């Protein structure tokens, strides 16, 4: 039976806390996806009218972009090479895509339920045949996407597009309790979001740390003493790239989710990379998670 260090080498870190917390799951399976959720590494989407009951996704982010555009009215004047520019507004647009990963049919069904609830919130509320509420949304992703001036720091706005794509290459779950139904193991989602910020946005009304909820003191804008001097990359990553480390953990988690008895029955070693196949061929028959 491989040691914990061997499991960590192949699948990424399996923290003791997560091992202990989910030790009772059948087969000793360690659900690192739930471990991420317990750390608060989730994407939350809610109706803008009630952010107390959000849909919570354990979001394995594929891409994220936050675009700001200054819009000016440009009027050309005879004899002047540069147009006269009159400020109109500053627009912000967000786009992101993420994967929902499930380790069993229960998690897969929960993911599908969350998606169903999200699509429901894409439509307005009615009283009879009269629209009473437009489908305004609110979203928050850790400290990367938030509005510090809004209740619970949720960023309000509208979803201009929502795309749902089951990744059927990775297969589906089935259940005897849900005959005739399939539950994709991985589902890709993407949205485009147009924010509606709380409060007045201006250089003289916003704090420097308004976007990401950073520390209000202890960080200075300017050149550090060692700027331009090569540093040890591990030190840079640890000190300044926490989100990069989180992305690495996401990748490790997808791999580590294959180490339970159910996954072995589905023969995941037949579709994992060459790096892992040799080990599976040697150990798959005797492998038992600690």
132 part of a folded domain: yes
Write the CB contacts of 183 (distance below 8 Å, at least 6 apart in sequence). 102, 105, 108, 109, 112, 172, 173, 174, 175
183 part of a folded domain: yes
93 part of a folded domain: yes
Cα of first residue to Cα of last residue in the chain, in angstroms, is: 9
**Residue 257: pLDDT above 70?**
no
Provide the domain count of the chain. 1
The SS3 assignment for 132 reads strand
6 part of a folded domain: no
**Residue 27: pLDDT above 70?**
no
146 part of a folded domain: yes
Which of 28-42, 202-216, 230-244 is predicted with the least confidence, judged by mean pLDDT?
230-244
CA 222/CA 202 separation, integer angstroms: 22
Domain with 180 in it: 32-68+89-198
Q: What number of other Cβ atoms are within 10 A of residue 41's Cβ?
A: 19
244 part of a folded domain: no
24 part of a folded domain: no
Tens digits of residue pLDDT in 150-189: 889 999 999 999 999 999 998 999 887 778 899 999 999 9
219 part of a folded domain: no
CB 40, CB 142: distance < 8 Å = yes
Give residue 35's pLDDT: 60
Higher-confidence position of 267 and 39: 39
């Amino acid at each position: 039976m491989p040691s914990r260090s061997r499991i960590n080498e192949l699948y990424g870190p399996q923290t003791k806390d997560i091992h202990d917390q989910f030790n009772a799951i059948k087969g000793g399976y360690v659900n690192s996806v739930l471990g991420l959720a317990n750390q608060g590494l989730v994407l939350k989407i809610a109706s803008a009218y009630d952010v107390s009951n959000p849909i919570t996704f354990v979001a394995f982010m594929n891409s994220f972009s936050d675009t700001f555009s200054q819009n000016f009215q440009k009027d050309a004047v005879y004899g002047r090479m540069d147009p006269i520019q009159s400020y109109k507004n500053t627009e912000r647009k967000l786009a992101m895509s993420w994967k929902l990963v499930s380790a069993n049919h229960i998690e897969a069904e929960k993911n599908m339920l969350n998606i169903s609830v999200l699509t429901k919130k894409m439509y307005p509320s009615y009283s009879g045949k009269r629209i009473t509420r437009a489908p305004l949304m609110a979203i928050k992703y850790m400290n990367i996407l938030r509005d510090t001036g809004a209740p619970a720091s949720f960023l309000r706005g509208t979803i201009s597009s929502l795309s749902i794509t089951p990744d059927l290459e990775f297969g589906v779950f089935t259940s005897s309790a849900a005959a005739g139904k399939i539950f994709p193991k991985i589902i890709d989602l993407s949205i485009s979001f147009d924010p509606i910020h709380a409060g007045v946005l201006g250089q003289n009304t916003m704090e420097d740390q308004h976007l990401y909820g950073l520390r209000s003191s202890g960080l200075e804008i300017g050149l550090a003493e060692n700027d331009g001097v090569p540093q040890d990359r591990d030190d840079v990553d640890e000190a300044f790239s926490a989100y990069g480390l989180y992305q690495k953990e996401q990748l490790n988690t997808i791999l580590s989710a294959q180490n339970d008895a159910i996954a072995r029955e589905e023969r995941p070693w037949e579709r994992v990379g060459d790096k892992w196949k040799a080990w599976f061929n040697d150990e798959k028959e005797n492998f038992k998670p600690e």
